[in-house]
Structure 1
Amino acid sequence: MSSDTPPPMPDFPPPAPPARKQPRNWVVITSAAAVIAAVIGTGLFVVNSRGDESKPAATTAASSAPDEDAVPTAEESEPDPVYADVDADSFDIELRTTEKQCFGSAGCNVTVEPKLTYVGLSEDLDPDAVYEITYEIRGDESGPVIETAELSEQTSLTYTPTSISTASSGTKVSVKITDVTTRGY
């Protein structure tokens, strides 16, 4: 053999480099599930740590001083409304005659309704309270008649018209507030 001749070719092809294995589906699915679980767990931790104000937060002495630039919340900046103390002197009352039937010297049958006026501003009254205003009607031949009206939502008055019998057509009918109670806070 001479040195000028190339070596003979082998009868089979040269060995191929080892093939890279493709990851199996279960490995990919398991890895994706682990990543999703980690993201959800981190999100829950962050949400719970921000939203749970009932637990005391660990603070240092330097961070516990109030921040002068902080904006107060609605609860801190708006005080509870203060409403007027209401009593019998808080209202003026008159009677409005809605029916009157007289029988000569025998007297009259009269139907009256209260006409109430609050002395202050209606905004001073608690809108959630019901004020029970008791009043006494004088002029009935049997004696004084006691009635109660209810004032709610600051301006809504509920009452029952009152029928009385007077001794004569000249009998003067009068009214006076005797008590005011508040309920429904």
Structure 2
Amino acid sequence: MTQPEFPPPADVPHDPSELPQPVASRRRPIGWIVGGAVLVLLLFFGGCGALLAATDDGDPAKPGTAAASATSVAPTTAAAAPTTRAPEPLPVYDTPTKRDFTLAVKILRKQCFGSAGCNVTYRIDVTYTGDGDLDPAKTYEVTYQVKGAEDPIINTFEVSGDSASVQQEESASTRRSGDKLTAVVTDVSEF
């Protein structure tokens, strides 16, 4: 027995391309948006990791560096030699001579008596002109002479490191009001 063939209903087309197509939904593709965002983040962080790996300086002290992981994988046969720091050079200090000092006489007060001369109050200003620094652990005694006064004046001051201890005021008498006081170093010795 054969099945009778019935003609298709009138509203159904005979060609499959003429079949009605499903209506596209108008919902937003949220899955695609979330997936795209995740993909962008993965690419960003992957790029940052590649950049960090490219700038690795190979310092074995830094964990996670290529040199550190290579060191931890490779077996070592000899113990690492201890590193010693080179000693810092000791400072070299100058030994002063009398030519290393320049002295200036600073007039603080001057009282003159016509042609009889003047009484002068002064202070010595010291300048060290040597090539190097002086040892701060050593003290030097500098002897100097003041010229231009009625009587010769000899005095001393002490120098230690970069400071000199001089008297704040000294006195002298000159024969004439136009006489000028000068000072020169005559000796330097270590205390």
After TM superposition, the score normalised by the length of structure 2 is: 0.53
Aligned residues: 113
Paired position in structure 2 for 1:159: 167
| CA deviation string 1:1-24 (max 9, x = no partner) | xxxxxxxxxxxxxxxxxxxxxxxx
Q: d(CA) in 2 for partners of 1:68 and 1:89?
A: 55
How far has the Cα of 1:132 moved from its partner?
1.3
Mapped contact 1:92–1:116 kept (Cα < 8 A) = yes
The structure 2 residue matched to 1:138, chosen from 131, 144, 147, is: 147
Q: d(CA) in 2 for partners of 1:109 and 1:124?
A: 37
Paired position in structure 2 for 1:26: none
Q: Per the alignment, in what secondary structure is the counterpart of residue 105 of structure 1?
A: helix
| CA deviation string 1:17-68 (max 9, x = no partner) | xxxxxxxxxxxxxxxxxxxxxxxxxxxxxxxxxxxxxxxxxxxxxxxxxx99
Paired position in structure 2 for 1:148: 156
Q: d(CA) in 1 for partners of 2:158 and 2:174?
A: 26
Gaps of 5+ in 1: 1-66
Q: Percent identity?
A: 40
Paired position in structure 1 for 2:82: 70
RMSD in angstroms over aligned alpha carbons? 2.3
Mapped contact 1:149–1:160 kept (Cα < 8 A) = no
Q: d(CA) in 2 for partners of 1:178 and 1:93?
A: 11
| CA deviation string 1:120-149 (max 9, x = no partner) | 46x71111111211110011212x100111
Structure of greater Rg? 2
Q: d(CA) in 1 for partners of 2:180 and 2:119?
A: 13
| CA deviation string 1:89-127 (max 9, x = no partner) | 111111101111001111000011111111146x71111
After TM superposition, the score normalised by the length of structure 1 is: 0.54
Gaps of 5+ in 2: 1-78
